[in-house]
Structure 1
Amino acid sequence: MAEVLGAIVPATNGFHDTQSGLKILVVGAGISGLSAAIGLRQQGHTVQVYEQSRFATEAGAAIHLAPNANGVLKRLGIDAAASGANLMEKLTEYTATGELTREIDLKEPNSIWQHDWLLAHRIHLHDALKRAATSTIEEGTPVKLNLSSSVVEVDAESATITLKDGRVVKGDVVVGADGVHSLTRTRIPGGDAQVFPSGKSAFRFLIDRQAALDDPATKKFAEKAGELIIWYGTDRRIVMYPTSDNKLLNFVCIHPENESGASGEDWNTEANKSTLLKVYEGFDPDCVALIGKANPESLKSWKLLDMPVIPTWVKSRLVIMGDAAHPFLPHQGQGAGVAMEDAAALAVVLERDLRAEDVPERLKLWESIRYERANRIQEYSRLAGRDVKEGVKVNMIEYTNYNFGHDEFDNSAQRLREWKWAQTPQIYWRMPIAFGPMPGPRQNHQGVGRQSEHSTFTTASIKFKTSRTVLQNLFPPGNKKYRFKSPGTVAYCSFSQTHLDQMEWLGGSGYKHIGLYIHGVEYVKDNGDVISGTYMPILFESLTDPIVSGREELGMPKLYSSIDVYRHGSESYRINTGWQGSMWGNFVLEGLKPVSDVGAISGNLSGEADDGILVYRYMPKVGRTNKGQSAEEHAVFVPFKEDMPQPQSKRVWQASKASFKIDAMDWNALPTLHHVIARLQEIPVYEIVGAKVVEGTGVPDVGAARRID
């Protein structure tokens, strides 16, 4: 037993049983750790953060919140401007001796980004993150922030951490956000890579902007709000920009590490003001006067550390992020922003209601989302920090389009969608594919097959004798593989209308269709085999969704028509079909009498006991120059015996009299259907040989449809 969070509990459990979501342990309460904690909290997870410090001696400087970083903060519910962050408005560059080399107005470029480029005080930002993480009024369970809690061991497989005082805490995920000298990184394969000095060190400090304004020699450097100024020497530079509502000026002074003797590898190592001035003694006197206003008590220095790219940031249930995974040199001001992007991506992939057993594969997905971008920006930072004397033109904003034009929440959400889609490779895609696989009669939105055993159908069919020579002209033009079984000039076909209802894929509702079914047709394959069935040249439906799914997924020749059914008790069944009020068809079944031997009556959609349906798929090529050319063209067969579920006839009525009338009208009345209805009108009726109405359950999804040849 071990004491965890003030209670005596088993050593493997650090959370109350009533807590919902994943149990997430975050090691480190810096910007990346707190950003991750907030995002994960908002996803409904329970988050514990373990920080080795007490935050008692926290110092800080300014931080760039470029549009990509500021966007993450906004999505986390944090308004940095409300905490004193000010707009980045201008970039000015000087040589070391004070010669002006470039001025860029950033007000207008700022407008092309969705979010502002802000300059914030690190402490103010950190405080805002802490408030958001631990707030009792925000969405989700407040994050538990455990200070003075140094982690000494991590088990990636069990998601367990061991604290310095012996406490053991188990979760579902461990997030390593413990900085450049990360312990958690050492538990990742390849994480034994050592950080190394980059050859540069940096002084950092803040001065009151008013102090610069009060000095005639330095006033020019502080007059413009939101102005970032860089003085470039051959192997050193000074970067200055305002923060805290333009009240403070932040300095980062990068120089060869051997000149300052900086031994510290963190941000809070005290520095000597005289050393600062000596390092930059050859710079413009006005610039030297400006840095000379540094408060000796706030002056810090640290070595700029770099690290080789490591092969992975994930092991089982352990993930590392921010400086623990990819420590940044400060030359672009993107270190914190990329760490916040890491946090955003993690919150997206560890979505609400995620099962604990799915964590390892989601962490791998997270790595695939973040690995290339973070390492690329890290390399950009190295390039931006090269010395001028190397003959390389230094351009701080050279990589801004790649850095700034990115929203990690949106990016990760899309990558998660695409990953989910890829988990079900056998899933229907239909236009428009940008929105993902299309749910329909054969699958739901997750690719799971539909249940249609309890769906109902009512099929009314009228079978009649007619001319084979007229019907065979409805075979696909130029295709000689379709033929009638009988050599005679008499053939049979049916108009069959079905009302489908209680369809799961339509939310329990239904639709109607009516088609022409030509019986006794064969298709001769390339190898000489013969397929027998009923040929369907046209099927009208009353709803867009089944029309589109049937055309694209199955190759069915579907068009729209209104289909209205009037049933007078059990005596008659009337069908009217039309387009925008122009009624082109009227079908009547009268004198309906119940049939006792229901099992002998087929419930197939053709109205007859056919082997299956033969259709012809045709998709045109795109574009005016490709008129008359097909992109895809082939025969399709739907074997009824292989379709699921099999329809079950429940009640049947035989008609004593049936008739139908087809009126093609003209192109004005039927502007999209006239050519079709005119051909149907040409079909002669020699004799009505049968008519019936069949009710039943079980609607086949036509998923047995397959290409012929």
Structure 2
Amino acid sequence: MTRKDLNGEAKGLRILIVGAGIGGLVAAIALRQAGHRVEIFERSRFANEVGAAIHLSPNANGVLRKLGIDAVEFGAVEAELLREYTPAGEEVHIMSIKETAGIWRHRWLLVHRAHFHDGLKAAAQAPGKGQPAVLHTASKVVDVDTHTATVTLENGDVIEGDVLLGADGVHSMTRTKISKDIKPFSSGKNAFRFLISRQQALDDPETASIAQDMGAVDMWDSEERRVVIYPCANNKLLNFICLHPETDTPTGINPGGDSYNQQIGKDALLDVYQHFNPQVKKLLEKADPQTLKLWPLLDMDALPTWVDGRLALLGDAAHPFLPYRASGGAMAIEDAVSLAVMLPGDISRDEVPERLKIYEKARHERATTIQQMTRDSTKLQSPQSAWGMVAYIYGHDEFDHSAQVLRKHLWSQSPEVYWRQPIVFGPMPGPRQDWMGRDRALKSTQSAFTTASIKFKTSRTLLQNLFPSDRYSFIAPGTVARASFSQTTLGGMDWLGGGGYRHIGLYIHGVQYKKENGEVLKGTYMPILFENLADPIVSGREELGMPKLYSAIDVHQRTNSYRMQTSWQGAVWGHFELEDLIDEDPAVDAGTIGGEADDGILVYRYIPKVGKDTKGQAEAEYPIFVPHAAESKVVPSKVTRLQRTSKAKVEIHGLDWDALPTLHHVVSRLGEIPIDEIIDAKVVSGVGVPDVSSALRIE
């Protein structure tokens, strides 16, 4: 026995596909384009491949186009007209597919199966994106190992890969490795299949009216028998599929044989449809006895799983379809592209079993639902009911669907990631985590800050009016309070691509919060923080409960001066100036806004309820505390420069509602704060920016 294995290192996985039908070939194309090395093992030599025509419904055609496959190049015809009749020829329903095509992103095509198959074979093996697939014909697979992704050929060769795909049709050998008990069985229906030239129908005055409209799909339907005719091969051929009870078929037919190559006499065809419209019978008489085939229609119970270890089934191996709603080939194509989504080029070998289970999760419900729809389609239905099925089947893009299933799986693997509005796009990277949920703290040690603060004496009574509840109070008695306006410029923030932003806030010192259990927290209370970038505003409000609003913040810094200006849409509302700055020893500064006695920052979270009848009601409302001690352990800050001055100035102009339509209610209150005396004014620069991840809910 010869054993073949990987030789050397190569990008992507080695994927072995059993079966080179439509599903196997599309999977090969999609997976090679994803960056994998693909080999296909096909038992036949593809000699005398005749087949018939198939529908490429918009859902199938759409994903093929994403793979760069245009079936029109293989002679596909666009479906333009659907006509339904009784067997006697009475009109039931006529619909212009061309006029309704605008609801689908891609065209509904009709293609010769053999031509389509040849085109897929060429695309799988041709130069282009990814490494061309290797197709082994006359290579019957007699055994597979689902856990090692190994195939054993009839000649004794053993080939090992990383992924094994079973695309070996309704009589699948690979399926037996997943379930030995579930096997295909007769649906109770058989179908005749054959092709004639369209010109034959046009040359006969009795049948010309059927063939004269390009892209027309014609159907004569009863509860038991159905004749469907549609063009293919650039409108040069007409494809026939004639469904009937299997009891109408002469004995001697083997339902378990080759589904497409069971010879049948023309007399049997004409006998089954002897009571149909004369025009239809005249067309059936044109069938070539040499190409007329009988197709036993098989069904199968749903498999409990399509996956075992490194093996996944697709197409008819997983879910054979009855030939209704143009779904057999389409579902195999959707399976194939779903596998390519789940197995991107950078996936590791160890991830394969899990990803195959996600593939099954993405595909199982849809495939089995459509299977049932095809069974229901054996019965006559109203146009409305039939259209509902069509809308479900055709209105789908498996690339997009599977990508979302995979995204949700990846999101679920990181339960600690942050979610913020809008949640439909997934977890939100921000200042505390990257998009994988990994802690950013270590990178934040290299971020830089420059903080200019002006501390002043002011009215305790006025500031007390900014407390959100009576649980907040000043620690010391008297009518004098201390507060600061503090502005920080941040840079080197990895979560902003190395950029930064600015913020400025009011900080009220010497405040305490008394908890319901009597415990007291002491710190600096921050009623408002303005920032000049939406991203930190959103993350701070949603993740931390911070009272943030937007304002433009301009800074003019020179060697001995630091000036700030705040505005909204050109309306300037604040001027802050520090002049005659003098350098001091940076070691004397604690690096916190409240100094040595400050234990942390107190803020108050409030999120309103949605709805006009809930105005004034809170969805969330509670106090927040950010302890300095905990923050310093996450990212320690180092002060590298300290400048001080006794010459500082604060000017705040409330303006009016017209100038500050969204900020006037805040800025006007800030403008009321009296500056009795400047206590301290300084500019502090350094590295290491805490991410406020220590913020916690107090009650």
Question: Which bin holds the TM-score, normalised by the shorter protein?
Answer: over 0.9
Q: Which residue in the other structure is 2:394 paired with?
A: 404
State the match for 1:639 in structure 2: 627
Determine the structure 2 residue equivalent to 1:52: 43
Conserved? CA contact 2:551–2:566, under 8 Å: yes
Partners of 1:461 and 1:288 lie apart in 2 by 94
Aligned 1:123-202 pairs, distance under 5 A:
123-136=114-127, 138-188=128-178, 190-202=179-191
Q: Report whether the alignment pairs 1:439 with 2:418.
A: no
Q: Name the residue aligned to 1:103.
A: 94
- Aligned partner of 1:461 among 428, 453, 461: 453
Contact 1:229/1:241 (<8 A) preserved: yes
Q: Which deviations, in whole Å up to 9, do the C-alpha atoms of 1:24-65 show, x marking residues without a partner?
A: 111111000001111111111111111111111212100011
Q: CA deviation at 1:253?
A: 1.3
* 1:439-469 CA distance string (max 9 Å, x none): 1111112222212011111112222222211
2:197 maps to which residue?
Answer: 208
Q: Distance in 1 between matches of 2:280 and 2:683?
A: 95
Spell out, residue by residue over 1:361-401, the C-alpha distance to the aligned partner (whole angstroms, 9 max, x if none). 11111111100000010111111114x6xx99997555101
Please tell me whether the aligned partners of residues 223 and 378 of structure 2 are also in contact (alpha carbons under 8 angstroms). Answer: no
Percent of matched pairs sharing the same residue:
55
Q: TM-score, normalised by structure 2?
A: 0.95
Partners of 1:107 and 1:431 in 2: how far apart? 41
Give 1:93's aligned amino acid.
Answer: E
CA positional deviation for 1:625: 4.1
Aligned-partner SS, 2:172? coil
Name the CA distance, whole Å, in 1 between partners of 2:558 and 2:387: 78
**Alignment correspondent of 2:275:** 282
Task: Number of aligned residue pairs: give it.
Answer: 691
SS of residue in 1 equivalent to 2:498: coil
Q: 1:228 aligns with which of 212, 217, 222?
A: 217
* 2:82 counterpart of 1:91: yes
Q: Distance in 2 between matches of 1:176 and 1:377?
A: 20
Alpha-carbon separation, structure 1, partners of 2:195 and 2:392: 30
Q: 2:88, 2:568 → 1: CA distance?
A: 82
**Alpha carbons of 1:475 and 1:41: their partners in 2 closer, same or farther (altered >3 Å)?**
same
CA root-mean-square deviation: 2.0
SS at match of 1:658: strand
Residue 40 of structure 1: aligned partner: 31
1:253 aligns with 2:246: no
* Distance change in 2, residues 1:578/1:537 (3 Å): same
1:331 is paired with a residue whose SS is: coil
- My pick for the range that moved more, 288-297 or 226-235, is 226-235
Inter-CA distance 517–287: structure 2 relative to 1 (3 Å threshold): same
CA distance in 1, matches of 2:82, 2:171: 33
Amino acid at match of 1:667: W
| CA apart distance, 1:265 | 4.2
Q: Match of 1:48, SS?
A: strand
Structure 1 residues 43 and 289, CA gap change in structure 2 (3 angstroms): same
Against the structure 1 CA distance between its residues 622 and 234, is the aligned structure 2 distance closer, same or farther, given a 3 Å change threshold? Answer: closer
Change (3 A) 1:103 1:666: closer
**Secondary structure at the counterpart of residue 103 of structure 2:** coil
1:311-330 to 2 correspondence within 5 Å?
311-330=304-323
* Worse-matched range after superposition: 71-80 or 25-34: 71-80
Give the Cα separation in 1 of the matches to 2:332 and 2:368: 12
Unaligned residue ranges in structure 1 (runs of 5+): 3-10
Change (3 A) 1:279 1:667: closer
The change in CA–CA distance for 1:513 and 1:384 in structure 2 (over 3 A counts) is same
Q: For residues 79 and 588 of structure 1, do their structure 2 counterparts lie closer, same or farther at Cα, with a shift above 3 Å needed?
A: same
Moved more, 226-235 or 205-214: 226-235
The Cα offsets for residues 512-539 of structure 1, whole Å up to 9 and x where unpaired, read as 1111111111111222222111100111
Corresponding position of 1:6: none
Structure 2 CA distance, aligned partners of 1:328 and 1:491?
A: 79
- SS at structure 2 position matched to 1:197: strand
Give the residue type in structure 2 aligned to 1:159.
A
Q: How does 1:472-491 map to 2 (within 5 A)?
A: 472-476=464-468, 479-491=469-481
Instruction: Report the AA paired with residue 346 of structure 2.
Output: D
Q: CA deviation at 1:585?
A: 2.3
Maintained 8 Å contact 1:191/1:310: no
Candidates 611, 614, 623, aligned match of 2:599:
611
Structure 1 residue corresponding to 2:499, chosen from 497, 501, 509: 509
- Tell me how far apart the structure 1 counterparts of residues 384 and 690 of structure 2 sit (CA, whole Å): 67
Query: Could you tell me which of 298, 305, 309 is aligned with 2:298?
Result: 305
Give the AA of the match of 1:20: K
Cα distance between partner residues in 1 of 2:38 and 2:685: 57
SS at match of 2:99: helix
Query: In structure 2, how many angstroms separate the alpha carbons of the residues matched to 1:232 and 1:280?
Result: 11
Q: Return the alpha-carbon distance in structure 1 between the equivalents of residues 27 and 166 of structure 2.
A: 10
Using the alignment, how far apart are the partners of 1:396 and 1:210 within structure 2? 32
State the SS of the aligned residue for 1:496.
strand
1:501 aligned partner, one-letter code: G
Cα shift at 1:666? 3.1
Q: Is the 1:12–1:160 Cα contact (8 Å) retained in structure 2?
A: no
Per the alignment, residue 103 of structure 2 pairs with 112
Pick from 329, 344, 351: which aligns with 1:351?
A: 344
Query: TM-score scaled to structure 1, two decimals?
Result: 0.94
Partner Cα distance (1:448, 1:217) in 2:
74
Q: CA deviation at 1:704?
A: 1.1
Q: Distance in 2 between matches of 1:323 and 1:240?
A: 24
CA distance in 2, matches of 1:320, 1:504: 44
Contact 1:459/1:607 (<8 A) preserved: no
Q: Is the 8 A contact 1:384 1:394 kept in 2?
A: no
Cα separation, partners in 2 of 1:398 and 1:572, compared to 1, 3 Å: closer
Q: Residue deviations 1:262-292, cap 9 Å, x none? A: 3244111111112222222232333222111
Amino acid of the structure 2 residue aligned with 1:286? Q
Q: Deviations over 1:95-141 (max 9, x none)?
A: 223333332222222221111111110011111111111111x2111
SS of the counterpart of 2:444?
Answer: coil
Q: State the shift of 1:671 in Å.
A: 3.1
SS in 2 for 1:617: strand
One-letter identity of the residue aligned with 1:94: Y
Distance between the aligned counterparts of 1:563 and 1:100, measured in 2?
A: 74
Q: Structure 1 stretch 606-615 or stretch 32-41: which is displaced more?
A: 606-615
**Structure 2 counterpart of 1:8:** none
Q: Distance in 1 between matches of 2:562 and 2:651?
A: 15
Partners in 2 of 1:59 and 1:606 — Cα distance? 85
Alignment of 1:582 onto 2:574: no
Show structure 1 runs of 4+ deviating over 4 A: 391-398, 605-609
Counterpart of 2:617 in structure 1 is: 629
- Amino acid in structure 1 at the alignment position of 2:460: R
1:370 aligns with 2:363: yes
Of 2, 8, 11 in structure 2, the residue corresponding to residue 20 of structure 1 is 11
Shift of 1:191: 5.0
Partner of 2:260: 267
SS of 1:370's partner is helix
Q: 8 Å contact 1:384–1:395 — kept in the other structure?
A: no
Distance in 1 separating the partners of 2:647 and 2:667: 24
Q: Which among 579, 593, 599 is matched to residue 587 of structure 2?
A: 599
Using the alignment, how far apart are the partners of 1:35 and 1:366 within structure 2? 16
Q: Is the CA contact (8 Å cut-off) linking 2:325 and 2:390 kept in structure 1?
A: no
